[in-house]
Amino acid sequence: MARNPKITFIGAGSTVFMKNIVGDVLQRPALSGATIALMDINPQRLEESAVVVNKLIATLGVKAKAEIYSDQRKALAGADFVVVAFQIGGYEPCTVTDFEVPKKYGLRQTIADTLGVGGIMRALRTVPHLWKICEDMLAVCPEAIMLQYVNPMAINTWAITERYPTIKQIGLCHSVQGTAMELAHDLDLPYEEIRYRAAGINHMAFYLKFDHRQPDGSYRDLYPDLVRAYREGHAPKPGWNPRCPNKVRYEMLTRLGYFVTESSEHFAEYTPYFIKEGRPDLIEKYGIPLDEYPKRCIEQIEGWKRQAEAYRSADRIEVEQSKEYASSILNSVWTGEPSVIYGNVRNNGCITSLPFDCAAEVPCLVDASGIQPTYIGDLPPQLTALIRTNINVQELTVRALMSENREHIYHAAMMDPHTAAELDLDQIWSLVDDLIAAHGDWLPAWARKDGKSKAA
């Protein structure tokens, strides 16, 4: 009798996300008997997630079983796959700190979870916990594949590979397929008829090709249509969030010739062009949603309270296929049936114009041999140049974590395109000092010692 996989969720209290992944997994015949091990440090959220999983199992009529754990290593023991989704420090206090302290210096942000001073601080809080998962995996499930859904994705992926190179891991995001769906919608085309190839780094990958399949089987380049639709005011169409009109990415398309895979609200703070002191005209022209992430956090917390009650009282939980890659990866590794997904992995020469050791986002073939990144070659030079500005921040943050050298935290902030466009050196140093002090014990001890930077 064939063995069923064990899938461990670390941060299983991210219930809506966990529900989507488990729902996808249990609809695949080869995975429908899986053991779903749920681990979280929040007992209430963990119990709510267990309720959801058991109702999913009952609704789908499958033989899967759920187990709950408060002990991470026990949850990981014997796992075949490890799905990681958590936010260290949560909305309160840490996200609030990441936004409010920089504001005192006039530094405004939109999302602050990937780059900038907010992304740097989030990395310092998060990577040590990811490393602890790696330690436990080496002890109790060294062959398991880690599917890592945590931001800042690129820094996390890079830091895991640097310290635990034998861990099989991939960083997963839904921006590549999600944006392709948005663009198809903007052009009134069926997503199923779109062909694309993207590459870069997480949240700054670009569609190198974006084509539409014609009735005769040939393909037509859609980039001229996208530029025309933007210039004529037909695109972008209103999306799920009225605060985020998506104009930044279309504007960058007209400047770079390529469309970026992560949202306009993200992209506005990865570059020095859009959020500028004394330029409210830019904020208005491009519809840049300042303080967007805290607003979403509040909405999501409220939404979750309502959703939890609905799940608890429901007899059945209906399952729709999500756009996450996790179930495709698990199914391909488990059965050998190949699939192609986009993931974040050590570059290793896949993108020849980017550093060998950075975390690249590229198409990956997945089958019984695991996750195999594909070769891209050089990116267009203007894309390489822009991506490198973000890699500088990622690299210095990873160096800070690996060497426990506090100076590199300041260096990372100093290299951030948006921060450097707004603040002078003294302000940057002082801001980092204030963020470290405000975060306190959420940061590792080496980052907190010495009081002030000796370079200040």
Amino acid occupying residue 18: M
Q: Which of 129, 174, 185, 234 is catalytic?
A: 174
* 234 belongs to an annotated ligand binding site: no
User: How do 219-221 and 145-148 pair as beta strands?
Assistant: unpaired
Encoded tokens for 201:
């780094």
Distance CA 267, CA 252 (A): 9
Sign, CA dihedral 24-25-26-30, equals: positive
Question: How many residues are present in the chain?
Answer: 456
Alpha helix positions (H), 77-196: 96-103, 116-140, 153-163, 175-186
Q: Which residue has the tokens 């210095």?
A: 396
* 266 belongs to an annotated ligand binding site: no
CA angle 232, 236, 239 (to 5 degrees): 155
Active site residue 174: yes
Helix axes 425-439, 116-140, angle to 10 degrees: 50
Distance CA 61, CA 410 (A): 54
Encoded tokens for 423:
């603040």
Dihedral angle of Cα 70, 73, 77, 81, to the nearest 10 degrees: 90
The single-letter DSSP state of residue 378 is P
Instruction: Sort 276 into a burial class: Cβ within 10 Å, 0-12 / 13-18 / 19+.
Output: middle
* 202 belongs to an annotated ligand binding site: no
The answer to whether residues 407 and 74 touch, using CB atoms and an 8 Å cutoff, is no
How crowded is the C-beta side of 434, counted as CA atoms within 13 Å?
Answer: 17
In 3-state terms, what secondary structure has residue 256?
Answer: helix
From the list 399, 390, 447, 413, the residue with the least C-alpha distance to 101 is: 413
Encoded tokens for 123:
């990395």
Amino acid occupying residue 189: L
Q: Which residues are known binding-site members for substrate?
A: 151
Q: Which residues are known binding-site members for Mn(2+)?
A: 173, 203
Active site residues: 174
Q: Which residues are known binding-site members?
A: 151, 173, 203
